[in-house]
Amino acid sequence: MKPCAPRRALVIVVATLLALLRSAGADPPTLVKLTIKDHHFVPNQVTVPAGQRFRIELSNQDDTTDEFESYDMKFEKIVVPGGTIAVFAGPLHPGTYKFFDDYHPDQATGTVVATAEN
């Protein structure tokens, strides 16, 4: 085979990515702040408007590393003890969406409720 083929494929991949890189420009999204302490989320239920992108910020006040994760909202992020991370989520249809700490899934769970605006 021609040895340049993989390199050309890489160039195509990078070029495509760069072409896709354009600002998704919008208003700064709603920020929801959570903490995790004693392996429980505080608060463990938050309400957000449906149909909008938003951010969830999580501060880990435990002395163990956690993995902030949601199958429903498609995020997965490590948060070290004392650390703070943020993830994007939404836009969501009206409904209830679960999140959890994948390292303590029995204790640390919570929900996001997306409500339609009137």
Partner 1 sequence: MLASLLIVFREVLEAGLIVGIVLAATEGIAHRGRWTAAGVVAGVLGASLLAFFAGALSNALSGNGQEVFNATILLIAVVMLSWHILWMASHGRELAREMKDVGRAVRIGERSLFAMSVVVAIAVLREGSEVVLFLYGIAASTQAGPGPLLLGGALGILAGAATSWLLYRGLLVIPIARLFSVTNVLVALLAAGMAGQAAAILAGIDLIPAWGYQLWDTSWLLSDGSIVGRALHALLGYSDRPMGVQVAAYVATLVVLIAANRWMHRQPIRRPAPHHREA
Nearer to partner 1, 57 or 115 (CB): 57
Compute how many other C-beta atoms are within 10 angstroms of the C-beta atom of residue 15.
Answer: 10
Phi, psi for 12 (deg, rounded to 5): -65, -45
At position 93, the amino acid (one-letter code) is H
Q: Which of 31, 45, 105, 115 binds partner 1 (CB under 8 A)?
A: 105
- Paired with 88 in beta bridges are 55
Within 42-61, the residues that bind partner 1 by CB under 8 A are 53
- Return the closest-CA partner of residue 32 out of 117, 114, 118, 116: 114
Q: Does residue 109 belong to the site contacting partner 1 (CB under 8 A)?
A: no
Q: Tokens 């409720």, residue?
A: 113
- Residue 49, preceding peptide bond in cis (omega within 30° of 0): no
Q: Does 33 bind partner 1 (CB under 8 A)?
A: no
**Interface with partner 1, residue 12, by CB under 8 A:** yes
Tell whether residue 11 is a contact of partner 1 (CB under 8 A).
no
- In DSSP terms, 33 is beta-bridged to 57
**Residue 61-80 contact track with partner 1, rule CB under 8 A, x = bound:** --xxx-x---xx-xx-xxxx
Amino acid at 57: E
Verify binding: residue 13, partner 1, rule CB under 8 A: yes
Tokens linked to 45: 């239920």
Beta carbon of residue 34, minimum distance to partner 1 (angstroms, whole number) = 15
Interface residues with partner 1 (CB under 8 A)?
1, 5-6, 9-10, 12-13, 16-17, 20-22, 24, 53, 63-65, 67, 71-72, 74-75, 77-80, 83, 85-88, 90-91, 93, 102-103, 105-106
